[in-house]
Chain A
Amino acid sequence: MDSATLVAVVSIATAGITTGFGCMGPALGEGRSVASAMTSLAQQPDAAPTITRTLFVGLAMIESTAIYTFVVSMILIFANPFWNHFLSQAGGK
């Protein structure tokens, strides 16, 4: 197995693992926050605008960690610098 193949294999596998594990934590966190927001909404329907706004902002904050892992895995698959390096080396030969 030459270096380019090794880079491809490791990149693809790591991209999957990154997104898989990176989605777990934010999913749990978002579930908890939505659950408590629903509880608060049921208890105090009058505070709905404030709760909804803070819920959205908080969800975006939590979700951004999942987005980071997604961006990393997209870079690993579509714009991998190491892969491009070995590809250019192979082309230069």
Chain B
Amino acid sequence: MIVPNVHITSDQQIFWQHGFVKLNETIVTTWAMMIAMTLGSWSITRKLATERTISRWQSALEMVVTAIEGQIKEVGLNQPEKYLPFLGTLFLFIGTCSVCIVIPGFTPPTGSLSTTAALALCVFIAVPLFGIREQGFAAYLTTYVKPTPIMLPFNIIGELSRTLALAIRLFGNMMSGVMIVGILLTITPFIFPIVMTLLGLLTGSVQAYIFSILAAVYIAAATRVAKPKPAAQAKPEPSSA
């Protein structure tokens, strides 16, 4: 082979293998990220304060949560606290993975198709669940035949293809960042890879935002209650839904 050391995903970097069970780099980095984020937020939220002075970490975390809540509300989900755990987790995981590419030797787990497919499957499953919780089972299913029943296959294909698009988009962006830096290191190893890493930081953050905002848009489309019967819901809402 001409390029022996370039892996298209971090799945192929296997640290430990025992029969069927493999421990590849994606799993290791994913669990490292999960442990770091869980421990970090646990140690911050362990001693929350409501006094006039709060710790700076709590302040930072409150800023993050408030910003995510505001973004979810702007998409059209009027009760962001219902969706904050899911969407916030997606955003924080992808965002932290993207930001951590400044650590030398770290390949983001979102640069592997397995991770992004798992995240996209979470969205694929969560959207009908939120829709059913908001509209009821029958009312949600009728949205698939909404304009006319002819649209049923197209609606189903749309659900599947947007899941595929979510996975491939995130994978392609993160993988291209890692790969471009890897290729540039062999061509111009001095300054230029750093510039591309900077660009990778920007696109990674944008992709984290895009992924979670698209999930929010899909959930908003699924949970939109039909207009003609506003009194059917428990809570009467103002005219602009």
Contact = CB atoms under 8 A, between A and B. Distances in A.
A70 B174 CA distance: 12
A74 interface: yes
A67 B173 contact: yes
A57 B213 contact: yes
A17 interface: no
B209 interface: yes
Nearest to B166: A64
A75 interface: yes
Nearest to B209: A56
Contact of B8 (A57, A60, A67, A74): A74
Contacts of A71: 168, 171-172, 175
A63 B172 CA distance: 10
Contacts of A64: 165, 168-169, 172
Given A57-B214, A57-B217, A74-B179, A67 B209 contact: no
Contacts of B213: 53, 56-57
A23 B3 CA distance: 24
Interface in A44-93: 49-50, 53, 56-57, 60, 63-64, 67-68, 70-71, 74-75, 78-79
Interface in A1-54: 49-50, 53
Nearest to B203: A63
Contact of B206 (A50, A56, A67, A68): A56
Given A57-B217, A60-B169, A78-B3, A70 B210 contact: no
Contact of B210 (A49, A56, A68): A56
B210 A67 contact: no
A50 B71 CA distance: 10
Interface centre among B71, B210, B214 (most CB of A within 10 A): B210
Interface string B203-241: 000110110011001000000000000000000000000
Nearest to B171: A71
B74 A53 contact: yes
B61 to A, nearest CB: 23
B169 A78 contact: no
21 contacts: A49-B74, A56-B206, A56-B209, A57-B210, A57-B214, A60-B169, A60-B206, A60-B207, A64-B168, A64-B169, A67-B172, A68-B168, A70-B176, A71-B171, A71-B172, A71-B175, A74-B8, A75-B8, A78-B3, A78-B7, A79-B8
In the A-B complex, the 8 residue pairs with the smallest Cβ-Cβ separation, listed nearest first, are: A67-B172, A60-B210, A64-B169, A78-B8, A71-B172, A79-B8, A64-B165, A67-B169
Interface of B: 3, 6-8, 71, 74, 165, 168-169, 171-173, 175-176, 179, 206-207, 209-210, 213-214, 217
